[in-house]
Structure formats: C-alpha cells, structure tokens
Amino acid sequence: MRRWRWLETGLRRVRQGWLPVVEATLAATIAWMLATRLVGHPQPFFAPAAALIVLGQARGQRTRRAVEVVLGVAAGVLVADLVVQALGPRTTWTVFTVILLTVTLAVAIGASSVSVVQAAVSALYLVVVSPPTESLVPFRFVDALIGGAVALAASQLIDARRPLAPLVAEFRQTFRELGDLLEEIAAALDHDDERAALAALERARRADAAVQRLRDAVLAAGEAVRLNVRRRRHLGRLRSVDASIRQIDYVVRNVRVLARAGVTLTRHPAAIPADLPTAVRGLAEAVRAGGEALAADLTGADTDADRHAARAEEAALTAVRVAGRLFLPRPTLPLAMIIGQVRATAIDLLRGLATDDDPTVLDRVDEAIGLATR
C-alpha cells in the first residue's frame, strides 16, 4: 500500500513539474547540438552543463544569475584550459593554480557564493577529468557561452506571448485563499467554535508564504517583460503592482491578528455578537473583489478593474460599518481587537487598490465606522 502511495505521489509531482523537465531537457540537448555542429567540438560537455546550471536558477532572478553563472563558468573553463596547457593536467600545482585563479576571478566580478562554487567545480572538472586540448581555440569557453545563451532563450519561450499570465494567476489564487481564510474565521465565530478558530489561526500563520510567492511572481514577470521588447509597455503596470504588494502584506498581517483575536473570543464566556461574522464575511468579499481588480489591471482590462475595485470598496466599507455598530460601551478586549482589525484590513486593502496613495481612504473608512474625521 505504501509503495502505491509513493508512486501516486511521484506521478502527481511529475504532472505538476513536467514543464521544467521538458525545458531543461530540450535546452541541454539543443546546446549540445549547437556546440557540436557550429563549433565542431567533439565533446561539448560544458554546453549542456551551463544550460542546466542557468535553468536551475529561480525565475525572476534568472537573467542576472544567468549572466553571472555563464561568465563565472566560462571564465573558470577558460582559466583551466590555459593553465592545463601551461602546467599539464592532473598535477597538484595545476589544481592549486586553477582553483585560486577561478575563485579570485569570480569574486572580483561580484559573483554569488553559489556561482563561485559552480565556476570552480567546472574548472576543476576540466583539470582532473576531462582530457586537455591541444588547440589554442577555447572550445570549452565557447561551449559554456552557448549553453548559457540557449538557457536564456528557452526560459523566455514559455512566457513569450503572455508574460504576465503567471502573475495574474498568482494574484487570483492569493486573494482567493485570503478570502477563504476570512470565511473560515467567520464560520468559527458563527458557531463559537474554538477548535475551528485555532485551525483558522494556524492557516493564517502560513499566509506569509503567499505574499512571498507574489513577490517572486512580480520578479519573474518583470524579467520576462524586460527581455521582450514588444511587451515592455507592461513595466508601468508591474511597478504599480509591486507598490501594492506592501499593502497586501499588511492585509495578511491584519488577518493573522484578527484570527488570533477570534480564538480568544471563542474562549471568552460572553456571547459573540451575531453581526460579527457578517462583518468578517464582508471583508472576505472585499478581498476577493480586490484580487480580481488587481488581476484585471494587470491584463489591461481597465473597465473591469474599476468595476471590481468599486465592488471591493463597497464591501469593505459595509464590513467596517457593520463592525462599527458592535463597538458598544466597554466592549470585551478580543471584540475590540477584531473590530480594529476589520478597520485596519479595509484601510490597507483599499490603499493597495488605489492607483496612487489616496489620502481620502482613511477618512472614508473612519466615516463608515463612525469615527469623527477632520
């Protein structure tokens, strides 16, 4: 039974991760073919190796890391080729000289520690394993450059037509999950269920990972857009979204505090106001509409973006209004905390949706909750 479960898990992982497998396989094979047929190198090991190293970098950092890795590996290969021809292969002095020069060169160009190691290992392989060449033409240096160039080209093919599509999908998923979390908190409050409230809190503590995924997706989209001249008009939208993520991070933190206060409230002997779950559900609706607004803005659907943003604001202000009516004289501390977090979440959500730092957001929210404004 355990064997079948392992097989099922493995097949699921393959279904989810088949694209990088195909990408790496094709890039390495094409790099090998180009190095063999164009350069005429009979054993172009470093062409597919460089392609695999570059594709191993995370999307969003791939261009910068790719240039760094290609230069580091190619320089290591070039240094090793020259030193082997001068001192001979497989000697202690050759190993010492190659490692010293390769690491020094990689550090001098500001390579990361990972790239320094990759360059040194590539050079060391050339000294210890690969036979030396008699030609003065640096075949292996050219092979590494070919592999890196093929990897860069391959990494852009997936996002060539729709470079923002993965980011749009990530926004929708993040806001949908956050809305579901708020619904879970509301259900726990509705039934005064401490166990359900604790489960919601545990889920809220893991929500930071979603914000990091958004940041990574923005980096990846920015890389794809910059390398695609015809798509660079999207850069302005990406800068706007990047600024919104800070507010989204605040929203996630507010929801986590709200979930913690919900646990405390379910442990309190006082009855939970019937309208409190309604306010939290209104906030969930606002979050979902906000995610649709940001996704529509990324795709250039301005009319839809405005419509969803208006729906998000209406739902957020309604949630704040309902929560404000529960702030009676001498409320319990956890109730006061939840009301405060409903207000804070609405403020940060609406600021994240604003095209600029709208100074009236705070006034609109405070007016809805019943606080006096200046």
Q: Model confidence at 229, in pLDDT bands (50, 70, 90)?
A: very low
Segment 100-116, tens digit of pLDDT:
888 887 788 777 776 77
Q: What is residue 46's predicted lDDT score, i.e. its pLDDT? A: 78
Q: What is residue 57's predicted lDDT score, i.e. its pLDDT? A: 66
Burial 291-325 (b: 16+ CB within 10 A, else e): bbbbbbbbbeeeeebeebbebbbebbbbbbbbbbe
Query: CA triplet 273, 279, 280: central angle to 5 degrees?
Result: 105
Q: Model confidence at 181, in pLDDT bands (50, 70, 90)?
A: very high
- Single pTM value for the model: 0.67
CATH 1.20.58 residue ranges of the chain are 165-369
- Sign for the pseudo-dihedral over CA of 107, 113, 119, 124: positive
State how far the Cα of 244 lies from the Cα of 254, in Å rounded to an integer.
15
Q: Model confidence at 374, in pLDDT bands (50, 70, 90)?
A: very low
Average pLDDT over residues 197-221: 84
Rounded to 5 degrees, φ, ψ at 68 are: -65, -45
Query: CA triplet 301, 215, 307: central angle to 5 degrees?
Result: 25
What's the one-letter identity of residue 139?
A: F
Q: Model confidence at 246, in pLDDT bands (50, 70, 90)?
A: confident
Rounded to 5 degrees, φ, ψ at 234 are: -75, -10
Give the residue with greater pLDDT, 234 vs 106: 106
pLDDT of 41 over the 50 cut = yes
Nearest to 340 by CA among 283, 290, 285: 283
Is 3.40.50 the CATH number for 165-369? no
Average pLDDT over residues 23-46: 85
Give the residue with greater pLDDT, 110 vs 336: 336
